[in-house]
Structure 1
């Protein structure tokens, strides 16, 4: 299969690939391990501590102390998933799932990852890591070529392979545009376009490399559709007043909200307005594309969080964060 990932137009000299803030990390870099020097997916998994987990099901039982002594009670509906910690060699708890849950070892995706690297012409794997105490894992692959937006802003494309060990999500391969200038991850959906291929965790499910390879063309087509939508946004002027209307739609606040909620909302509006004209928007100011990047930058790098790891985890896993980015994208591309 031959698929072109190179944008149709040439990137202009004003389309920066360097970062406005070099110390700022993407969520992938914050939570993962750089494995760019790995020769294969298996090597990358070893380097990131994701190999040899030997995830297995363990029967669940409970005990009750009654007047007749201790009674053992079996749970016929659920099992524990446990794995072997590669650093200590000790078993550790992962999650509780149904008995029909299909376990996908981290190595199960290695052949697929190697195939994705080879098919796309990528240099190799970027980051690999585990989040939520191992319940979810990810591997990123930076695709060759650079997407431009109207010749003034540069975006990279990443294939991201997600796996879960808690039943929360399917095994997924996603294509995610990434803006290196501000380290924004722009994982949104576009109507009638395919941005993700998934495999459910069932007892009979398997990671079919050939089946996913057949769908790569659909994933790559998404990147061209995203480029077209981004160009429409960057050519559509937007006032600060219109930007504040967007904020009210993305983060609605009830009229009878508590003083605390109102105060948080006011501070969020102030921060978003600061980002609207910040250094990260300096060459794209005053249009809908800048508004979309501002919303993404706030969620990825400024939204209130206990620490950087908590915020980065939200970026990768939170349906609420994803919904806010999606709402902004849908409103700005309407």
Structure 2
């Protein structure tokens, strides 16, 4: 199935963020692998190949006045990897003994299939987060959709592998608004946006299984465009936007002074994005603009130690994803 057949025609204009210094979370944390000839080459370029992830028995040592005692943990093992740049072994995580290891290279066939099936030119960015416990590779689908003819959206297939004992191998479709570099990773009722394979001792990354579900992921993209068009055609007042902020970030009346001050600063930033940000100029005063203001704040303005920390939250924070989902559900109701 060709995804290009399901979307609006791309007028052919080059789309860039309103702020040229702004980068997506993928670009902030990953390496550009555009132009690599294959998925394996992309993994090598990004330093994700040759990790040789393996299980190491887990032991603990107790030191007492009577001496040193070593204990084995029969239920857990450590995952370690080889750093391809230095050859050194590095700790990844602690997992159950029955955990199934998926080397990063195991997803290469999936990546090559996704590129071929979607008509994409190749992979975009590849990188790691949380010390290598999660890795990602992005594929930009070839056709840009224009919501109501005025607001550009791109769709990316993102392949996540994990080595943390908690997260499955996943292929996700993620809408992306290039004007503000916002990720719109939200769920739409009755539509599939993610295909997952859990890490069990007998699990395999089945290319054909994922390939068979690509149509469902593409259907999600079409449904997202329809929902976005409905939101962009629905006006919203300043008062309704204030109510949205209070719903997404509820603050108790008896909260501490620090909490109340943080809430006021957050509200001021969000209101500024809603009322005057250049990124909202073409959609101002709509529910779609309200959703973009919330996602822009979460992706680019939340307090963080540095840009890498904020970008890592965009890709991995459950709290951030839930806030985006909550905002969308309230606006789409």
Interval containing the TM-score (normalised by the shorter chain): over 0.9
Residue 167 (structure 1) shift: 1.3
Partners of 1:65 and 1:11 lie apart in 2 by: 67
Cα displacement (A) at 1:118: 0.4
Q: Please say if 1:108 is aligned against 2:106.
A: yes
2:313 maps to 314
Secondary structure at the residue paired with 1:256?
Answer: coil
Which residue among 32, 35, 39 is the counterpart of 2:33? Answer: 35
Distance 2:245 2:117 in 1: 40
Q: Say if 2:7 and 2:143, in contact at 8 Å, map to a contact too.
A: no
- Asked if 1:157 corresponds to 2:117, the answer is no
Given candidates 56, 59, 68, the residue that maps to 1:58 is 56
Q: List per-residue Cα deviations over 1:218-260 (Å, max 9, x = no partner).
A: 0000001000000000000001110110001111111111110
Aligned partner of 1:26 in structure 2 is: 24
Matches of 2:11 and 2:291, distance apart in 1: 21
Which residue of structure 2 lines up, in the alignment, with residue 281 of structure 1? 280
CA distance in 2, matches of 1:307, 1:66: 42
Report the secondary structure of 1:193's partner residue. coil
- By how many angstroms is 1:5 displaced? 3.1
Q: Which of 193, 196, 212 lines up with 1:195 in the alignment?
A: 193
1:172 aligns with 170
Query: Which residue does the alignment assign to 1:238?
Result: 236
Partner deviation per Cα, 1:65-103 (whole Å, 9 max, x = no partner): 345432221111111100000000011111111101110
The whole-number CA distance in structure 2 between the counterparts of 1:9 and 1:207 is 32
Q: 2:96 aligns with which of 87, 95, 98?
A: 98
Counterparts of 1:327 and 1:138 in 2: how far apart (Å)? 25
Q: 1:69 aligns with which of 52, 67, 81?
A: 67
What is the rounded CA distance, in whole Å, between the counterparts of 1:38 and 1:101 in structure 2?
32
**Within 1, Cα distance between the matches of 2:234 and 2:129?**
38
Tell me how far 1:24 sits from its aligned partner: 0.4
2: CA distance, partners of 1:8 / 1:266: 40
User: Secondary structure of the equivalent of 1:117?
Assistant: helix
Q: Cα–Cα, structure 1 residues 109 and 12, in superposed 2: closer, same or farther, change >3 Å?
A: closer
SS in 1 for 2:131: coil
Secondary structure in 2 aligned to 1:236? coil
Q: Could you say what secondary structure the match of 1:19 adopts?
A: coil
Q: Any stretches of 5+ residues in structure 2 without a counterpart?
A: none
Counterpart residue number, 2:253:
255
CA RMSD of aligned residues (A): 1.4
- Kindly report which structure 2 residues correspond to 1:112-131, keeping only aligned pairs within 5 A, or say none: 112-131=110-129
Q: Following the alignment from structure 1 to structure 2, what is the Cα–Cα distance between the partners of residues 5 and 322?
A: 28
Cα distance in 2 for partners of 1:238, 1:7 equals 29
Residue 139 of structure 2 aligns with which residue? 141
Q: Deviations over 1:125-179 (max 9, x none)?
A: 0000011111100000000111110000010000000011011210000000001
Contact 1:49–1:86 (8 Å) recurs in 2: yes
Structure 1, unaligned runs of 5 or more? none
Tell me the distance in 1 between the aligned counterparts of 2:106 and 2:201.
14
Deviation at 1:201, TM superposition (A): 0.6
Instruction: Give the conservation status (yes or no) of the 8 Å contact 1:197–1:215.
Output: yes
Runs of 4+ in 1 over 6 A off after TM superposition: none
2-side partners of 1:248 and 1:23: how far apart?
30
Indicate the SS of the match to 1:197. strand
Q: Is the 8 A contact 1:48 1:129 kept in 2?
A: yes
Q: 1:267 to 1:66 in 2, by over 3 A?
A: closer
1:79 to 77, 80, 83: 77
